[in-house]
Structure 1
Amino acid sequence: MTNCRLRRVRRRSVRGREEMRVFENGFAIVVACLVSVSPLAGDDNASERPLIHGAAFNSRNSYVVVRNGFRRGAKLWTDREYVVKKLPIDLSGGTLLQTPMEDRGNKNDDLISFAVLENCVVYVGIKAGRKRPDWLGSWEKTDLTVEASNTLVYSRKPFSAGEKVVLGGGSAGLQAMYSVVITENADKSTAVPSEKHGWVNLIADDSLAHWAPGPSKSNPTDIGSLWSLTDGVLHLDKSKKGRGGPIWTKKHYDEFELTFEFNIAFNGNSGVKYRVVDVDGSALGCEYQIIDDDNYRDNKNPTHRTACLYELASVPVDRKWNPAGEWNQGRVRVLNNTFEHWLNGEKVTSVTFGSEDWKQRFSKSKYRIHPDFAKTAGPILLQDHGDSVSYRNLYIRELNSEQIGPVATATKPRKTGTQELSEPLAFTVNCRACHLLDQTGVGPSLVEMAELYPRENKDRFIHWAISPGRKRDQMPQMPSMAHVPKEQLSEIYDYIKTVTVGVKRVKTSNIDSYATAPAKTKRPRIERTFVPNSGPASLILALPTEKKHNVIWDTDQCRLRYISTGEPDNYAYLRSNGNSLALVGEIIYRESQSIFTAAGDVQYKGYHISKEGYPSFVYQLGESEVTETISVDVERQSIVRSFKATPQLPDYEIPPPPDDRLTTEVTKSDKAISISYTAKK
């Protein structure tokens, strides 16, 4: 591609994509700003991650990149109206690179180029019966075909994150321009969810050990003969004579994530139910609807279509849906009483139990005569609705609204190239204050860190974070990150390597990036801080009270250090190159030791953020795992510290307030204690 002077730039937005067209001496270079991507099962943050960026095209014609765009009805070529009529599940939901038919004879060696941000598989489809271009010689031939105006046969090649992909031109005999689809690496997109992340295979080893006969008037003691499980496929065959009936899991689930693939018969109807109870031999519960949307008689009701929350929440008409006889991927996620349904990588409906929206929907449904509907944990149930249906890759993991770890992401994204990535929570709290993207702050830039630690040196990065030394005399030594779990350090490393792709370092001099940083006024908020008489792993929680109270919590000793008022200035330490400490306002309360009197080592295990923004710190003290939550009683303007523990609460002693500026109120039970601090007026 020639390096020519830019002549003009044109930008336009289209539903589902954004293009920036840069014209250089007549050659159009399209840089695609990707908008949406199908998530991985079990990966909460995947929907935020694009697969490619920096796409460029050595052509006069138009190219378009559409994330999550490869589906039935999608246009394969930018200058033709031909659409996808049939495609395999392996490619469904992939990033679609629409090519111009007019470039079928283009012979440029670098016709298309882009960088991949995740481990990906790139598929190139050639019209059936045509010779592949020479540059595809090393690519693996597959039996995957797509029906459009022609039948396209696809070749594939995996690429590692950060790698550049270059695709050549076609040939005079190609007749139709090739098609390009990018999917997540097969090891991630087709492999089973990992047990180390809590996933349980409900049909492992072709066994129905997790299942039992579901509710029935006849109360059977064994699973009906029409259910079979062979080679990882669970099948209900209603074309035969015999007993089927619903089946449900022996275990009950309250908050969980369920992922599965399903294949419904022509004109068929079935479903997956959860939070189920037996009501006089019938299964009452929420239902992930599964029907033949194209042919079943009940397909006109918007709350009766595939993937809807039956009777309660509809799904978009244009969602990705493969017809009866083909596999689709379903996903159900229940957390904090919010019920989410996903279909082929897209969230298609979400409703929160008990909300006003829920109450209105429920009052209009047939379930309204059951006031306890969906209130309690229950089994997962597979329906027998009289039609054949198959399932495979049926996995579940239990969730907990108070689970520890990276269950939230930062709201402020960082830019990389032409798109944005969301920061992991671990990075936001521990790293963002000192490390800027492309220029030196208190510490080196993320770009420099990515250069210092290539991908094969992740372990060295983690070791340095836990036991850092001093590399630069002009910078303060980084405090140890030993309080951060290795899994989160690994997540930080992966984020740094991803967000810096295609970004160059900016040389700066005498720039006080902290003095010019935007003011942080959001409350509640939490960030790492450096204060007197507290470890470098301390956190400051700015609370939404009228007097702007702050709590400083030491993760090294797992206890509260101070309560102060006013707006904290965490940059005082950073701006001074480590020669002064953060300003935390007026200190109105100090706690000299933990409230727990039991002797023994304390081990910090992490924290999570509630949807309201309040933290819960989790630590091990002897045999007890303690969860300490800090929040605000808005009506009383009180700071509330709530403790609970398993198997029991350690011995404790509540220190009295040091002066008359605060009053304390204590509420106790066998396994919990709550302390309220209220400022006197």
Structure 2
Amino acid sequence: MRTILLQVAVCLLVIASGCESLRFGSKQTAEETKKKPEVRQYVQADTGRWLVHDVNRPAPPVITPGIASTPDQVGKSPSDAIVLFDGTDLSQWTDTKGEPSKWIVRDGYMECVKDSGYIQTKRKFGSCQLHVEFATPATVRGNSQGRGNSGVFLMANYEVQVLDSYNNATYSDGQCAALYGRAVPLVNACRGPGQWQSYDIIFHRPIFKGKKVVRKPTFTVFQNGVLVQDHVELRGGTGWKGPHAISDFEPHEDALPISLQDHGNPVRYRNVWIRELAD
């Protein structure tokens, strides 16, 4: 009996000692925590230097997002976009001489007329987000570069190729979604002839200092929702200079028109809008 009582007493002492240690340990931890200074980190932004999670940091503007197009229904642009073509007229476009364009407008789209020349916006733009929808001819004629050829030019100098590249072999840096002569698309994401397709282009303009380019232009391009150019930096222009030659950089203004190419094929365009981006 004495042995049992002794064992019970020892257990009680051990438990009491443990509780005291826990109490003391908790108190010590709390004191140590109290002594640690609060970590305050700052980030540098265009609007200044801000504390992380600072509720006073300016919030972005609120916009209404657009609605994507379907093959039969044209979508809507975001509320802060500049609509360049809404399917009704060419009031925001001219030919390259500043005269009214001879491209045709009907059924909600504009169509290139052979030998009518390029069409370009009246307004000038630099860095931007550009949305363009296009359709190559439903009736297939020609091959390689002679089939559904056109192009979307940023600043009238840097081309995202438009071509019927659906089962149509050509040189890879000249197929649909290529940065002409410079960059091959990551994949061929083309739909068939006559079907509406889309480009969503994020473009940051080049910056020149005198005759020298100090920041090269970059392109990110989605074709039909698929990434085809991933923040590609151009190392020169995209102008055709011969079968195996391409243009170099030439200094130009900070803002220039968006233009669409007449390459002799009746390519159609619709739902063209743009959002200007800061440099």
Superposition TM-score tier, normalisation by shorter sequence: 0.5 to 0.7
Q: Which residue is equivalent to 2:193?
A: 324
Q: Does 1:352 align with 2:229?
A: no
Q: Aligned-pair distance for 1:346?
A: 1.8
Shift of the 332–211 alpha-carbon distance from structure 1 to 2, 3 Å rule, reads same
Q: Does 1:188 align with 2:67?
A: yes
Q: How does 1:459-470 map to 2 (within 5 A)?
A: none
Greater RCO between the two (CA within 8 Å, min separation 6)?
2
Q: Aligned-pair distance for 1:340?
A: 1.7
Q: Which residue is equivalent to 2:85?
A: 203
Q: Which residue is equivalent to 2:108?
A: 232
Q: Aligned-pair distance for 1:316?
A: 2.5
Q: Show structure 1 runs of 5+ residues with no match.
A: 1-186, 277-284, 402-681
Q: Which residue is equivalent to 1:406?
A: none
- The answer (yes or no) to whether the contact 2:133–2:271 under 8 Å persists in 1 is yes
CA deviations over 1:590-631 (Å, ceiling 9, x no partner): xxxxxxxxxxxxxxxxxxxxxxxxxxxxxxxxxxxxxxxxxx
Q: How does 1:465-504 map to 2 (within 5 A)?
A: none
Q: Which residue is equivalent to 1:487?
A: none
Q: Which residue is equivalent to 1:264?
A: 136
TM-score, normalised with respect to structure 2:
0.59
**CA distance, structure 2, for counterparts of residue 229 and residue 207 of structure 1:** 6
- The answer (yes or no) to whether the contact 2:152–2:261 under 8 Å persists in 1 is yes
**CA distance, structure 2, for counterparts of residue 324 and residue 233 of structure 1:** 16
Larger Rg: 2
C-alpha RMSD over aligned residues: 3.0
> In structure 2, what residue type is equivalent to 1:377?
A
Counterpart among 385, 395, 404 of residue 273 in structure 2: 395
TM-score, normalised with respect to structure 1:
0.26
Q: Which residue is equivalent to 1:212?
A: 94
**CA distance, structure 1, for counterparts of residue 98 and residue 198 of structure 2:** 30
Q: Aligned-pair distance for 1:335?
A: 2.8
**CA distance, structure 2, for counterparts of residue 220 and residue 192 of structure 1:** 28
Shift of the 309–360 alpha-carbon distance from structure 1 to 2, 3 Å rule, reads closer
- The answer (yes or no) to whether the contact 1:290–1:306 under 8 Å persists in 2 is yes
Q: Aligned-pair distance for 1:361?
A: 9.9
Residue-pair matches, total: 187
**CA distance, structure 1, for counterparts of residue 264 and residue 223 of structure 2:** 23
**CA distance, structure 1, for counterparts of residue 161 and residue 173 of structure 2:** 9
> In structure 2, what residue type is equivalent to 1:222?
P
**CA distance, structure 2, for counterparts of residue 372 and residue 272 of structure 1:** 19
- The answer (yes or no) to whether the contact 1:339–1:351 under 8 Å persists in 2 is yes
Q: Which has the higher strand share?
A: 1
Shift of the 328–374 alpha-carbon distance from structure 1 to 2, 3 Å rule, reads farther
**CA distance, structure 1, for counterparts of residue 178 and residue 106 of structure 2:** 29
Counterpart among 253, 262, 268 of residue 384 in structure 1: 262
Identity %: 28
- The answer (yes or no) to whether the contact 2:238–2:246 under 8 Å persists in 1 is no
**CA distance, structure 2, for counterparts of residue 289 and residue 229 of structure 1:** 22
- The answer (yes or no) to whether the contact 1:338–1:351 under 8 Å persists in 2 is yes
Shift of the 395–325 alpha-carbon distance from structure 1 to 2, 3 Å rule, reads same
Q: Which residue is equivalent to 1:246?
A: 118
Q: Aligned-pair distance for 1:326?
A: 1.0
Q: Aligned-pair distance for 1:220?
A: 7.3
Q: Which residue is equivalent to 2:21?
A: none
Q: Aligned-pair distance for 1:213?
A: 0.7
Q: Aligned-pair distance for 1:295?
A: 5.8
Q: How does 1:594-633 map to 2 (within 5 A)?
A: none
Shift of the 221–237 alpha-carbon distance from structure 1 to 2, 3 Å rule, reads closer
Q: Does 1:334 align with 2:203?
A: yes
Residues 327-336 or 247-256, more deviating: 327-336
**CA distance, structure 2, for counterparts of residue 288 and residue 377 of structure 1:** 18
